Amino acid sequence: MPFTLSGDDTCQTTTPSRLHDPYWVAISPNAAELIQLPLGSDGLPVDPLWLDLLAGNTLKTSDIEFPNPIATVYSGHQFGVWAGQLGDGRAILLGDLHGQELQLKGAGITRFSRMGDGRAVLRSSIREFLCSEAMHALGIPTSRALSVVGSKEKVIRESVETAAVCARLAPSFIRIGHFEHYASLENTVRLKELADLLITHFYPECSQHDQPYLSLFKAISKRNAKLVAQWQSVGFCHGVLNSDNISALGLTIDYGPFGFLDQFQIDHICNHSDSGGRYAYHKQPQIMHWNMACLASAMLPLIEINQTTENAHEILRSALDEFPVTYAKEWQGLFRRKLGLEIEIDGDIELIERLLQAMHDSQIDFTNFFRSLGNVKKGMQVADIDTRNDFIDREGIDPWFGDYLTRLEQETADDVARKMVMDSINPKYILRNYLAQVAIEKAQRDDFSEVATLLKLLSNPYDEQPEFEAYSKPPPQDMRHIAVSCSS
């Protein structure tokens, strides 16, 4: 549903910049189904005009036309500091297709590009493409990635790279920053239009409440609280949780210097530009809560329509306090399931926290440990549990495994049924940085086979897939500390 607020202060009609000699890097058949895009036996669109459309070189195919592509304005806080007006500096929204907004990231300069060139590079486009589809397969709300189109056109970042365009899909790309923008201008008319648009198209249940805008705030906050709990449960680090990168629909958006945990470190920083660790793994929940406070501040004028200023502040403070409660409930439920604990018993959370501390101390591989935990059976002896050997302090972890075995005796499910549940929440495969890097380096040599392999593998992250067993391994020693920054 395109961004259609009135007034040319909201967005600007923007024609994508031409991408010279475009070629296919990758296309997701699952994402193509969302917009009913027919693909041929070669996995590419049947209509060859889609290559130029997704490169930004045309606005129509044989049967579809996008006459009014736009870039939208928003504002926001970056690394906790008010940055003022921002906007779609290199993302151009073509329009709506079967309930999905089609947006080209890297399609050229817009009015909101500031000092940027409006382009994206092949490296970051492949990372976003693969992770968007991987997150969807993990069951985590996310924008989707339809394709990557490459070009030999040069782009300068830390070094000279080549350009690419990543085509993204989402029901809406509206973000917290849109609210902050109109609030900063004290433009209550636009704020109300924005809130009404979201309620009409995405949160219709809010219209039934006496205070629909308060209900909308609670709904957005609840979705994002659950989202960040899901991130924590699979060891995903976003890297740049600025308020302008937070979806109003509770989707994971704006994949930049993200990373999945390999060796578990509770304070892991995936973005080497984040020198202060503001967006470290363990801080993601409180930062998302902070971003919801930014949203609450921006929506205050809407609450004040029917409330005194004092009451409006109190109402929003109370609503904001619901975030940590929602997050804690979701997080606890997810980690109980990761341990195969379906029955809630006092002491479970302490058991989980003891485990995470031990994993941190020994820097245990996050994904592989939880996957292997499904192999633990009732009645086993601690000494027979292979994964205990991965811990540096074996005498320290053995009491935990003993307590875990005792706890499993209180579960009614048998070992087979419990493992099935655990394997459905503990993935076998994730987009490890080193896997993405191998695919990128091959793609930079015009070999896109590894991108295709990872897309296939990560589309079924919970399945065993014996032919891809090597992809479940931790990174080799020389690829454990791949540096990823905001540059893309």
Give the Å distances, CA to CA, from 204 to 1, 169, 196, 197.
14, 22, 10, 10
Tokens of 183: 């609030």
**Per annotation, catalytic residue among 8, 47, 117, 244:** 244
Say if residues 404 and 339 touch (Cβ distance below 8 Å): yes
Provide, for the chain, the percentages of residues in helix, strand and coil under a 3-state DSSP scheme, each rounded to the nearest 5: 45, 15, 40
- Torsion angles phi and psi, residue 82, rounded to 5: -65, 120
Consecutive H or E run containing 359:
helix 348-362
Give the Å distances, CA to CA, from 11 to 90, 179, 198.
13, 14, 17
Tokens of 425: 């929440």
What span, in angstroms and rounded, lies between the C-alpha atoms of 191 and 188? 5
Taking the CA atoms of residue 176, residue 177, residue 178 and residue 180 in that order, the dihedral angle to the nearest 10 degrees is 100
Q: Say how many C-beta atoms besides its own lie within 10 A of residue 359's C-beta.
A: 22
Tokens of 179: 């609210």
What span, in angstroms and rounded, lies between the C-alpha atoms of 221 and 323? 6
Q: Based on the residue annotation, tell me whether 386 is a catalytic residue of this protein.
A: no
Cβ burial of 361 (10 Å; 0-12, 13-18, 19+) is middle
Q: Say how many C-beta atoms besides its own lie within 10 A of residue 166's C-beta.
A: 29
The single-letter DSSP state of residue 65 is B
Give the Å distances, CA to CA, from 201 to 65, 94, 129, 167, 209.
23, 19, 26, 23, 16
Q: What residues pair up with 259 in beta bridges, in sequence order?
A: 237
The single-letter DSSP state of residue 445 is T
Q: What sign for the dihedral angle of Cα 206, 207, 213, 214?
A: negative
With tokens 């302008």, the residue in question is: 244
What span, in angstroms and rounded, lies between the C-alpha atoms of 360 and 199? 42
The single-letter DSSP state of residue 304 is T
Looking at the annotation, which residues are catalytic? 244
